[in-house]
């Protein structure tokens, strides 16, 4: 399409369409970029994606009546969110490793979607760079594609913008948008949480995509080397590799567990643990007549958190406010189903902790031993 | 929510939820920002938005059975796209005028959606800045809200990220993401275009949001003053004001015209004229057995284009590839309905040109007089 056009951006869709940059970018480079990413994107398409060559937007069938893939919603609620990965992009740039940060981008979005009870449907990305380097941006898209495959979402489109006057040399930014769907009657309703409900935590894969401004301060002030491994990290990876570990995507296990209990609503609340930490985010799942009581002895923070705390001289309370401390996602479940849900989640590959329980209260998160 | 949390970004939703930045931003500033934008966002909510305080994502009912607002889809296709506004942000920064660029952002997205036959449902924005200045970012959101109201879309959420190490002082970027819906049987199908169909053009409001790298080159090389008015612009506005004029949003008239012909499919193709110009974008609406033949004498380019062409010494062909030259949106319609559709569009406030017609061909756009 428009191989002769001259805008500042390359639009990508389930459409094969594209447009080209005038400001010093060769059409050949743009062509090469699209050639690289189109087959990648297509790897995420399920039967519900409508390919529309030349189209201006991506198309996704919500209801789908074909025999093999029948899906219909009675009262569909679309769930949508936008998120970025913050300054984790700077670690990717420092390591010149660009093929996983897209997983983080998908994770930050779909882990929010599933909190509302939704199954992810599709994803779009926005990549803005100082200068197009097709190999680099294709690596970014590779990560997004991998994230979409993990989340079972279609990469329906995206935009790659080259803005040399906005982004300094070598810098880039990533934003993502995700849409899911949930039956109205199955959407997470915080009012259903009751005293006695059990709080489960799913292990994080590391720092995920929050707190990187603080992480980078620690790296700088303690003169740490991203390319070195440290004994305290208790692994062979370098510090940079540990920090860049992609955010875990919880979509598949959470959607599967929810599908397993079609009639009974056994999950009464959920939370994606991002900035604000466990307390800040779990609190959003509560209503004003219950508290969550957490027993911190039920799991231990992975080495990277103890390392950052020690090397940065960060106060423990600050650590808990900024980082996930090893728990990336929470479920609040009916006590009689807690064991079977744990069991299912473990069989789906998750490490599960029993974090605590719900008691009568006033909408806050407390640690065992805190005064109420 | 989480007034004690410490991430790098402020997530906004139909949820009132928010989270705070550690890197030198006061919680009070973040609070103030959210206080400013929440009532603005709410102005875009229709009855299909589900407000979910504390929620992690925005929620929007697709089917809606309430008596007054009944809407149901038999085979809904979701249509989605992502786009930014390119370096038009630099003009906003130069003029310190931030309350309209959000309209451009919405326009760039919803004008793409409606090409597929969709009605816009909701929008999400991503704003990334060097440093949060609540007054400035609230102006940005004000523009997004105005755009959403024009497009009759809900501003369902957004993300505001503060990344001092990625964006230089004073710089910011905007990305947007929009979702619409169309009945499968009503989706634009390029195969339906036939010889004899009439091509209508809707007037643009100016440069829209494409070609600003070239615009800014002209401003620089010709030593133009954004704060001055020029006789050739044939208006009282300064050059900066003319350039910053928000992109016209065609959603309301296009959706209305489509609703007016429920049974007959009288619109056979559409195109949003962005980078690539009229030919580059109209070509995307064609199939391989038809050509579009355009008569350039049927409209004249507004003064800003003649001004840029002359002051920048830009070749006419280059102008047509980069800019919309006065036509922001195209419709291809059945000839027997061309007059009534024009009439409807004019009553809805659009300036309409008859650009040309469809002939048998090979999928290209030609000017009258071009050899075929």
Q: Is the pLDDT of residue B37 over 60?
A: yes
Q: What confidence tens digit (pLDDT) does each residue in B264-276 have?
A: 889 999 999 998 9
> Which has the closest alpha carbon to B105: B60, B146, B157, B47?
B146
3-state secondary structure of B359: strand
Task: Report how far residue B299's alpha carbon sits from residue A291's, in angstroms, rounded to the nearest whole number.
Answer: 67
pLDDT value of position B225: 98
Over residues B7-25, the mean pLDDT reads: 44
A173 beta partners: A128
Task: Report how far residue B115's alpha carbon sits from residue A56's, in angstroms, rounded to the nearest whole number.
Answer: 7
Which of B2, B15, B30, B56 to mutate: most A Cβ within 10 Å? B56
The DSSP symbol for A208 reads: T
Q: Is the pLDDT of residue A43 over 50?
A: yes
Is residue A204 within 8 Å of residue A361, measured between CB atoms? no
Same domain, B50 and B141: yes
Same domain, B198 and B161: no
Same domain, B347 and B331: yes
Q: Is residue B220 part of a domain?
A: no
HEC string of A219-283 equals: HHHCCCCCCCCCHHHCCCCCHHHHHHCCCCCCHHHHHHHHHHCCCCCCEEEEEECCCCHHHHHHH
Q: Is residue B323 part of a domain?
A: yes
E strand or H helix at B330? strand B327-333
pLDDT value of position B261: 87
Is residue A324 within 8 Å of residue A274, measured between CB atoms? yes
Q: What confidence tens digit (pLDDT) does each residue in B116-135 have?
A: 999 999 999 999 998 888 99
pLDDT interval class at A116 (50, 70, 90): very high
Same domain, A30 and A168: yes
Cβ within 8 Å, pair A165-B87: yes
Q: Cβ contacts (< 8 Å) between A83 and chain B: which residues?
A: 9, 11, 126, 159
Strands (E), A85-208: 119-129, 154-162, 172-183, 198-203
Q: What confidence tens digit (pLDDT) does each residue in B212-263 have?
A: 989 999 999 999 999 999 999 999 999 999 999 999 999 999 999 999 987 7
CB-based contact, B269 to chain A, within 8 Å: no
Q: Is residue A13 part of a domain?
A: yes
Q: Is residue B252 part of a domain?
A: yes
Compute the radius of gyration of chain A from its Cα atoms: 22
Q: Is the pLDDT of residue A137 over 90?
A: yes
pLDDT value of position B149: 97
Q: Is the pLDDT of residue A64 over 90?
A: no
pLDDT value of position B20: 31
How many structural domains comprise chain B? 2
pLDDT value of position B6: 31
Cβ within 8 Å, pair B113-A57: yes
Query: pLDDT higher for B190 or A240?
Result: A240
Task: Report how far residue B121's alpha carbon sits from residue B76's, in angstroms, rounded to the nearest whole number.
Answer: 12
Same domain, A198 and A131: no
Q: Is A354 exposed, middle or buried (0-12, 13-18, 19+ CB in 10 A)?
A: middle
Same domain, A137 and A286: no
E strand or H helix at B365? strand B365-367
Same domain, B284 and B165: no
Same domain, B50 and B169: yes
Same domain, B60 and B181: yes
pLDDT interval class at B180 (50, 70, 90): very high
Task: Report how far residue B231's alpha carbon sits from residue B303's, in angstroms, rounded to the nearest whole number.
Answer: 10
Q: What confidence tens digit (pLDDT) does each residue in A260-270 have?
A: 987 788 999 99
Task: Report how far residue A209's alpha carbon sits from residue A322's, in angstroms, rounded to the nearest whole number.
Answer: 11
Same domain, B147 and B197: no
| Partner-chain residue, chosen from A2, A20, A79, that has the shortest CB–CB distance to B57 | A79
Q: Is the pLDDT of residue A32 over 90?
A: no
Cβ within 8 Å, pair B75-A63: yes
Query: pLDDT higher for B289 or B71?
Result: B289
A46: number of Cβ within 10 Å: 14
Cβ within 8 Å, pair A166-B167: yes
Q: Is residue A217 part of a domain?
A: no
Q: Cβ contacts (< 8 Å) between A17 and chain B: which residues?
A: 284
Beta strands B290-294 and B365-367 are parallel
CATH number of the domain within which A158 lies: 3.30.1330.10
**Domain coverage including residue B335:** 190-211+246-368
Q: What confidence tens digit (pLDDT) does each residue in B194-203 have?
A: 999 999 999 9
pLDDT interval class at B4 (50, 70, 90): very low
The whole-angstrom distance between residue A341's C-alpha and the CA centroid of its chain comes to 22
CB-based contact, B69 to chain A, within 8 Å: no
Q: Is the pLDDT of residue B2 over 80?
A: no
Same domain, A98 and A195: no
pLDDT interval class at B356 (50, 70, 90): very high
Over residues B134-151, the mean pLDDT reads: 96
Q: How far is A293 from chain B (nearest CA, A)?
A: 17
Query: What average pLDDT does chain A have?
Result: 89
pLDDT value of position B53: 72
- Of B152, B170, B186, the position where a domain reaches its end is B186
Q: What confidence tens digit (pLDDT) does each residue in A215-238 have?
A: 999 999 999 999 999 999 999 999
Over residues B284-302, the mean pLDDT reads: 95
Q: How far is A201 from chain B (nearest CA, A)?
A: 17
Lowest mean pLDDT among A4-13, A86-95, B77-86, B350-359: A4-13
CATH number of the domain within which A274 lies: 3.90.650.10
pLDDT value of position A369: 67
Interface of A with B in 196-255 (CB under 8 A): 210-214, 216
Q: Is the pLDDT of residue A106 over 70?
A: yes
Q: Is residue B149 part of a domain?
A: yes
Same domain, B45 and B103: yes
pLDDT value of position B14: 52
């Amino acid at each position: 399409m428009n191989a002769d056009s001259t805008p500042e951006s390359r639009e990508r869709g389930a459409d094969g369409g594209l447009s080209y940059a005038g400001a010093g970018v060769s059409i050949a480079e743009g062509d090469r970029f699209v050639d690289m990413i189109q087959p990648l994107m297509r790897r995420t398409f399920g039967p519900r994606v409508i390919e529309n060559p030349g189209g201006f937007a991506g198309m996704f069938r919500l209801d789908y009546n074909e025999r093999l893939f029948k899906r219909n919603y009675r009262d569909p609620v679309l769930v949508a969110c936008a998120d970025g990965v913050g300054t984790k992009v700077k670690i990717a740039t420092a390591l010149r490793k660009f093929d996983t940060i897209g997983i983080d981008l998908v994770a930050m979005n779909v882990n929010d979607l599933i909190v509302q009870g939704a199954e992810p449907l599709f994803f779009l990305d926005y990549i803005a760079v100082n200068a197009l380097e097709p190999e680099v941006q294709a690596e970014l898209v590779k990560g997004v594609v991998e994230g979409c495959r993990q989340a079972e979402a279609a990469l329906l489109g995206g935009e790659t913008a080259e803005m040399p006057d906005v982004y300094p040399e070598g810098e880039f930014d990533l934003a993502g948008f995700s849409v899911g769907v949930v039956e109205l009657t199955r959407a997470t309703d915080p009012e259903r949480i009751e005293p006695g409900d059990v709080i489960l935590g799913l292990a994080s894969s590391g720092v995920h995509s929050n707190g990187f401004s603080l992480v980078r301060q620690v790296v700088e002030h303690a003169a740490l080397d991203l390319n070195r491994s440290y004994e305290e990290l208790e692994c062979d990876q370098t510090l940079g590799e540990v920090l860049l570990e992609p955010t875990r995507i919880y979509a598949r296990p959470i959607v599967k567990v929810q599908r397993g209990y079609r009639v009974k609503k056994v999950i009464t609340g959920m939370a994606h643990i991002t900035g604000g930490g466990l307390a800040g985010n779990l609190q959003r799942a509560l209503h004003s007549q219950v508290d969550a009581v957490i027993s911190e002895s039920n799991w231990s923070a992975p080495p990277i958190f103890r390392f950052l705390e020690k090397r940065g001289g960060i106060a423990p309370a600050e650590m808990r406010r900024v980082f996930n401390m090893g728990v990336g996602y929470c479920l609040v479940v009916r006590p009689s189903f807690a064991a079977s849900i744990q069991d299912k989640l473990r069989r789906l590959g998750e490490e599960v902790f029993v974090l605590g329980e719900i008691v009568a209260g006033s909408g806050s998160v407390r640690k065992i031993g805190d005064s109420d």
